Chains A and B, each alone.
Chain A
Amino acid sequence: MAQMSMLFSMGSSKKVITKEEWEKRLNDVKIRKEDMNKLVMNFLVTEGYVDAAEKFRMESGTEPDIDLTTITDRMAVKKAVQCGNVEDAIEKVNDLNPEILDTNPQLFFHLQQQRLIELIRNGKVEEALEFAQEELAPRGEENQSFLEELERTVALLAFEDVSNCPVGDLLDMSQRLKTASEVNAAILTSQSHEKDPKLPSLLKMLVWAQNQLDEKAVYPRINDLSTAKLEDPSIS
């Protein structure tokens, strides 16, 4: 019923594809299991699920596209930043590959900035000032955006109640996560691995492809990615 009424009410020149027709087309699409396994493995590896990746290798026979031991090291760095142990993280990155920080001045600055944030968070005012003057200020002289970020960070010291100050967001967990994911991406890049998993890109591509097709046709969409439910084609 729904489909019939829709066919008649179509005024535009868009092609109408009924659910039945569309399902036939979907059935003609053969997705290789091997490709899906690779996609899942790529997600596990890139996101750092090392144990799951190892298990998945055994259960599905899919080979990871990176040496699994490097994931453990990478995750240790990431975790150190997430927990606020920035010094430890810097040391670990340098153990892994000293070129990573040498060739990424911005990343190095952000790590140092994070270190400063942690010092301020822990109330080590004197140490923080010393660190800012000795380690960060010289870098600020080289780069205008570094200088601005340094000023923003040092501003934390000017407030008694940092939770309610304009730069308070620097103390948020999200700031640590941002720095952590920046290090994570840099390590992956240094291992000639893509820094992002492929799955989210494909999902975005699905959203994009549906939007593109909307311009030319009315067909059953998947509106909710989490249920993958095929909607009835509608003209709304």
Chain B
Amino acid sequence: MNNNSSNHDCSSNSNSTSSLVNSNSAGGRVADRRDLGSHFLGLARLGAAWAPGPVDEAEESPTELNTINSSGGFLVVSTDKLSVKYTGVNLHGHDVGVVQGNRPAPVRRFAYYFEIYVKDAGVKGQIGIGFTSENFKMRRQPGWEPNSCGYHGDDGFLYRGQGKGEPFGPTYTSGDKVGAGINYATQEFFFTKNNTVVGTVYKDMKGPLFPTVSVHSQNEEIDVNFGQKPFAFDIKAYEVQERMRQQATIEKISLPPNISYGIVRSYLLHYGYEDTLSSFDMASKSTIPPISLDQENGFDEQEILYALNQRKTLRQLIQNGEIDAAFSKLRDWYPQVIQDEKSATCFLLHCQKFIELVRVGALEEAIKYGRVELSRFFDMASFKDLVQDCVSLMAYEYPKESFAGYLLEESQREVVADTVNAMILATNPSAKDFQGCLHSYLERLLRQLTACCLERRSLNGDQGEAFHLHRVLHNSNTRC
């Protein structure tokens, strides 16, 4: 391996300030090692920061036509700004009556869609529907100029900024309902006629896109529906279908055999769920066909086998709220983990002890304990928030219902148990890197998944739905 390609290698001659695990004697931590447990401080207050569910970023949608930036002279927009009529007599290509929506299409969603109803196709039926950029020349059909795209009624052609169209869908005329949409997941425009998709085309335009309609011959008249009325096209069903299509593509990807099995097993090992693990192993011996994880499969379990039984015992104690007992076991087994009284691990354990006292209503004892063990953390920036939350529990008759009530959840005990678990893994003299102590394989894979989805969305100009693992897990359909 390239020596300077990774700063997480355990190389004895490293002079960097990077994270190193190299404990060769009990309590003998490398001096430049940061406090590993501080990783869990963020998780400990996650309960406080977490909103009930991820909220979709609100974006305003177009609601009416923009009467200021339209090609005046040739068209009349109704007073409700939802209908357009061509009033002139067209002489050439620059006489188009074109008008945009008052806002660009919102992007942080799966798809955007709007519709027109052709009231009167007029003399020539030269109606257009599509999307244009902000500085579109308001004398031309959408699609005739660069950075625009339009589906035209008289020839059914699609125009994409070339002036020359391509055969696309059927023509449309009086009485038809025609729609234009953007599918942000596939980065495509799609058009509909009378509730059926007539075609899709890759969206090669960047930046804000305005829903745009145009009329170009005498008496042409259309109504625009920005969603103020039900659409003729079932956009909800379309979304469901598109999601399923994407899901089907993903499901076709093949995985190495038994990969999920191996990841689950390593998860149980990592967090010290020893009883689950033995049942799991027992059962997998009798499955048909029996599951075997070969070395060639890549799983390296040596590191997470370390101290399995002790880690399990400590987890149980902490999850039962027996913090004193956990401290005492740690003193016996891994004194180095709690050696530094100002470490995140000690801090989290002391907080939990305090929380347990509050839980059983032993407030006086809690106060005493807090004065001895928590007061020193008040002026340490990274600990301040959590310690304040802890102390504030005492101010409420029903602490569970207070803003700091999250501290009394089971998940809080689990964070502390996970911290101790990671710290013990880090005492393993043959531990290769920090990531392995802090994060299970499963967590690393899920973080990579989330980071990839976020990065991809950001490179797409924040278009499409945001990825929330939590939401994916609670929906029956996974999505990105």
Residues of A within 8 A of B (CB): 1-3, 15, 17, 19-20, 22, 25-26, 29-36, 38-40, 43-44, 47, 49-52, 54-56, 58-61, 79, 82-83, 173, 177, 194, 197-210, 212-213, 216-217, 219, 222, 224-228, 230, 232
Contacts and interface: CB of A to CB of B under 8 A. Distances in A.
Given A203-B445, A217-B455, 8 more contacts: A33-B414, A36-B443, A40-B268, A51-B279, A60-B276, A200-B259, A203-B259, A209-B453
B93 interface: no
Contact of B469 (A25, A31, A207): A31
21 contacts: A25-B455, A26-B447, A32-B470, A36-B446, A40-B267, A51-B279, A51-B283, A59-B316, A60-B271, A177-B289, A198-B478, A200-B255, A206-B449, A208-B249, A212-B480, A213-B455, A213-B456, A225-B445, A226-B299, A227-B300, A228-B441
B476 A194 contact: yes
Contacts of A49: 279-280, 283-284
B279 A55 contact: yes
B451 A22 contact: yes
Considering residues B46, B283, B448, which has the most beta carbons from chain A within 10 angstroms of its beta carbon? B448
B444 A55 contact: no
A203 B205 CA distance: 32
Nearest to A82: B288
Nearest to B282: A51
A206 B448 contact: yes
Contact of A216 (B289, B410, B459): B459
Contacts of B249: 208
A35 B249 CA distance: 25
A210 B452 contact: yes
Interface string B16-45: 000000000000000000000000001100
- The 8 A-B residue pairs with the shortest CB-CB distance, nearest first, are A226-B298, A209-B452, A52-B279, A51-B279, A228-B444, A52-B280, A55-B276, A206-B449
A79 B442 CA distance: 29
Contact of A56 (B6, B43, B276, B470): B276
Interface in B115-139: none
Given A199-B264, A209-B456, A232-B5, A35 B473 contact: yes
B379 interface: no
Contacts of B42: 30
Considering residues A35, A47, A51, A59, which has the most beta carbons from chain B within 10 angstroms of its beta carbon? A59
Contacts of B273: 55-56, 59-60
B283 A224 contact: no
B450 A29 contact: yes
Contacts of B415: 33
B297 interface: yes
A206 B264 contact: no
B78 interface: no
Contacts of A59: 273-276, 312, 315-316
A95 B46 CA distance: 46
Given A15-B459, A52-B280, A209 B480 contact: yes
Nearest to A78: B288
A201 B276 contact: no
B241 interface: no
Interface in B299-322: 299-300, 312, 315-316, 319
Given A35-B469, A202-B446, A225 B263 contact: yes
Contacts of B300: 227
Nearest to B298: A226
Contacts of A25: 451, 454-455
A26 B442 contact: no
A205 B478 CA distance: 8
Interface in B237-283: 249-251, 253, 255-256, 259-264, 267-268, 271, 273-280, 282-283
A3 B264 contact: no
Contacts of A33: 43, 411, 414-415, 418
Nearest to B283: A49
